Structure 1
Amino acid sequence: MVDVKAKGSNFKDIVNKIGLPTIVIGGFWIVLLITGSAFGISMKTLISDTI
């Protein structure tokens, strides 16, 4: 129980340090990669196109 509480508070600290926008951007990238792979677009072309 103590470990779970410690992990929970650590997760909150991590979220506060990283910030919400970074998490939103990260989530957007994950969705982009999932939809890209679903449509048969390889990750290499996806990344090279964005860069």
Structure 2
Amino acid sequence: MPESLRKCKNDVIEKRKSKEILQGIFEVYFILCGMGHLYIYDTYARE
């Protein structure tokens, strides 16, 4: 495998990894954000 091709493959793998990490962070953020909104709504709805 030529060096440039190997580098390209590694870049793709790295990008895919960082994309998955970012996606994970966004998913956690949205879940927490959603739960926070539900909690706040629930608290205010009770009063």
- What is the TM-score of this pair, normalised by structure 1? 0.44
Q: Relative contact order, CA 8 A, sep 6+: which one is greater?
A: 1
The structure richer in helix per residue is 2
- What is the TM-score of this pair, normalised by structure 2? 0.48
Structure (1 or 2) with the larger CA radius of gyration: 2
